[in-house]
């Protein structure tokens, strides 16, 4: 239980007890003097609470205060939400008058009834008194919250026992629903399958924040953008671009337009998380990073591990070509043909020498297999490695075809040389951009 929840509950009880301190703490269960038939008593509790599987019925009956938010222990399990009935928190100990109803949050914003809890504040029955008892079980002293408590898991089996405080089968994290969502979307790691299934519109291009991280491409399913809030029907699938022009599935997003649910309304809720109001796009939105870990949390908008700039792939190119700063090693590895001499534009800048590997000029488009290594001439006949170039001849891919793509950038059609080409300045910064053809900082002079 987090500190805020603890302080809230304590403050609630202090206020409540101030009003009820005169009430006797001697109230006992009507059946205290009779032999205990636990099964019978539990069945009576179940009969009493059978309508409270509908939380609206429970709230109308008086259990209307969420005392805690969703409570979960990192290793023991959960308790869920504690919906309390304030007038019962007066020292009574009666199995037919539980002070609290326990609910597990559901992915679609609902609540699943789990059981009941009986509580007696220390302000009424001191912590050094004999513990209250129900069902043949003593209440536990919770010194942090200053109360006696007994949980009874009438509706959810507890492997540690019906009266154990924590239930390993209860969670605030919706593991079943999250697994179901992952199963539903498992085929969509193949973006073609996703597009065929309806998520065919790239709503945004690749989205990235300069400091917070990325979101990637938002592929939307328009007919789902109708106000529905169902964890099984995300409006958007999120993809990170890959260097080879593909897309890597990283998560989903749920959206509700302001035109359907106004920005001053209560936000929708899924998986226990409220949607965020995006006033720029005029939508409610909730991101969920099901396929890519987010150090800021599964439901945080931005993911610092998602990028539109292929950081990992560019680093891999640099690692693969690290030895080629020595041009003799590059030549020995196969880039041994100077295809151009030193190339320079009178106003745009230079490209340098293009040392090619002929067997790679076969139509392949693989960021790990550049067709050309670029070198700037230096002093004493040196060659300074400045980047790579990828090329596909028109003879293999005609000039009127869709251009190849690497690192999210389309190749340029060079009609003079009859090739598709993409330069990448991995070793010499280009003020016009890493993928611009000419580099004003490269010279043949």
Residue 407: its pLDDT value, please? 86
Residue 34: its pLDDT value, please? 55
Domain extent listing, the chain: 3-172, 176-308, 312-424
How many degrees, rounded to 5, is the angle at CA 428 between CA 427 and CA 432? 130
Neighbours of 383 (CB within 10 A): 23
Which two three-digit tokens encode residue 13? 């009880």
**Residues 319-355 pLDDT 10s:** 999 999 999 999 999 999 999 999 999 999 999 999 9
Range list of β-strands (E), 173-326: 201-209, 213-220, 236-241, 247-257, 269-270, 273-274, 276-278, 283-288
* Average pLDDT for the chain: 90
Residue pair 104/98 in contact (Cβ under 8 Å)? The answer is no
Residue pair 338/363 in contact (Cβ under 8 Å)? The answer is no
Residue 305: its pLDDT value, please? 87
pLDDT at 25 over 60: no
Which two three-digit tokens encode residue 93? 């100990």
Pairwise CA distance, residues 293 & 304, whole Å: 10
Pairwise CA distance, residues 84 & 63, whole Å: 5
Residue pair 37/107 in contact (Cβ under 8 Å)? The answer is no
Provide the 8-state DSSP code for 311.
Answer: H
Residue 271: its pLDDT value, please? 87
Provide the 8-state DSSP code for 224.
Answer: G
Share of the chain above pLDDT 70, in %: 92
Pairwise CA distance, residues 155 & 101, whole Å: 11
What value does the mean pLDDT take over residues 382-407?
Answer: 96
The pLDDT confidence band at residue 272, using thresholds 50, 70 and 90, is: confident
pLDDT at 29 over 60: no
pLDDT at 423 over 80: yes
Range list of β-strands (E), 33-175: 65-66, 71-73, 77-84, 100-105, 111-121, 133-134, 137-138, 140-142, 147-152
pLDDT at 20 over 60: no
Task: Please list the residues that pair with 49 across neighbouring strands.
Answer: none
What value does the mean pLDDT take over residues 2-17?
Answer: 47
What value does the mean pLDDT take over residues 134-150?
Answer: 97
**Residues 42-78 pLDDT 10s:** 999 999 999 999 999 999 999 999 998 899 998 899 9
| Residue in the structure block whose two tokens are 């009880």 | 13
pLDDT at 311 over 80: no
Residue 110: its pLDDT value, please? 84
Q: Which helix (H) or strand (E) holds 331?
A: helix 327-333
pLDDT at 148 over 60: yes
Range list of β-strands (E), 281-371: 283-288, 337-345, 349-356
Pairwise CA distance, residues 420 & 416, whole Å: 11
The whole-model pTM stands at 0.58
Pairwise CA distance, residues 84 & 102, whole Å: 9
pLDDT at 18 over 60: no
- Distant-in-sequence, close-in-space partners of 221: CB < 8 Å, separation ≥ 6: 197, 198, 199, 200, 201, 234, 235, 236
Provide the 8-state DSSP code for 223.
Answer: G
Pairwise CA distance, residues 134 & 56, whole Å: 27
Which two three-digit tokens encode residue 180? 């179901």
Give buried/exposed letters for 283-303 (b at 16+ CB in 10 A, else e): bbbbbbbbbbebeeebbbbbb
Residue 251 burial (C-beta neighbours within 10 Å; 0-12, 13-18, 19+): buried
Residue 408: its pLDDT value, please? 78
């Amino acid at each position: 239980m987090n500190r805020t929840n603890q302080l809230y509950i304590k403050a609630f009880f202090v206020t409540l007890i101030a009003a009820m301190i005169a009430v006797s703490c001697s109230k006992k269960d009507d059946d205290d003097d009779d032999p205990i038939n636990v099964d019978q008593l539990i069945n009576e509790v179940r009969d009493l609470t059978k309508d409270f599987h509908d939380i609206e019925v429970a709230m109308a009956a008086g259990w209307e205060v969420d005392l805690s938010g969703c409570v979960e222990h990192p290793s023991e399990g959960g308790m869920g939400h504690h919906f309390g009935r304030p007038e019962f928190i007066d020292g009574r100990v009666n199995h037919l008058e539980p002070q609290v109803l326990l609910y597990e949050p559901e992915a679609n914003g609902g609540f699943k009834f789990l059981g009941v809890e009986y509580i007696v504040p220390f302000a009424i029955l001191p912590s050094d008194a004999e513990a209250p008892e129900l069902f043949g079980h003593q209440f536990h002293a919770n010194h942090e919250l200053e109360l006696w408590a007994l949980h009874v898991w009438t509706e959810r089996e507890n492997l540690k026992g019906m009266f154990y405080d924590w239930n390993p089968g209860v969670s605030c994290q919706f593991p079943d629903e999250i697994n179901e969502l992952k199963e539903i979307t498992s085929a969509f790691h193949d973006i073609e399958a996703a597009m065929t299934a309806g998520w065919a519109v790239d709503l945004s291009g690749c989205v990235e924040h300069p400091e917070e991280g990325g979101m990637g491409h938002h592929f939307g399913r328009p007919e789902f953008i109708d106000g529905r809030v169902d964890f099984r029907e995300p409006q958007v699938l999120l993809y990170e671009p890959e260097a080879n022009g593909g897309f890597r599935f990283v998560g989903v997003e749920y959206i509700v337009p302001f035109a359907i649910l106004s920005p001053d309304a209560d936000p929708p809720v899924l998986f226990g998380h409220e949607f965020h109001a995006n006033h720029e796009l005029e939508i409610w939105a909730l991101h969920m990073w099901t396929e890519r870990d987010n150090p800021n949390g599964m439901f945080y908008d931005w993911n610092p591990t998602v990028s539109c700039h292929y950081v990992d792939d560019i680093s891999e190119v640099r690692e693969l070509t690290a030895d080629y700063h020595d041009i003799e090693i590059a030549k020995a590895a196969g880039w041994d043909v100077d295809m151009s001499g030193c190339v320079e534009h009178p106003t745009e800048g230079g490209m340098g020498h293009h040392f090619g590997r002929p067997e790679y000029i076969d139509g392949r488009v693989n960021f790990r297999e550049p067709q050309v290594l670029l070198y700037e001439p230096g002093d004493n006949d040196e060659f300074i490695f400045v980047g790579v170039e990828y090329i596909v001849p028109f003879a293999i891919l005609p000039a009127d075809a869709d251009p190849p793509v690497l690192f999210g950038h389309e190749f340029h059609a060079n009609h003079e040389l009859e090739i598709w080409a993409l330069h990448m300045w991995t070793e010499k910064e280009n003020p016009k951009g890493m993928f611009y053809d000419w580099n004003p900082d490269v010279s043949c002079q």
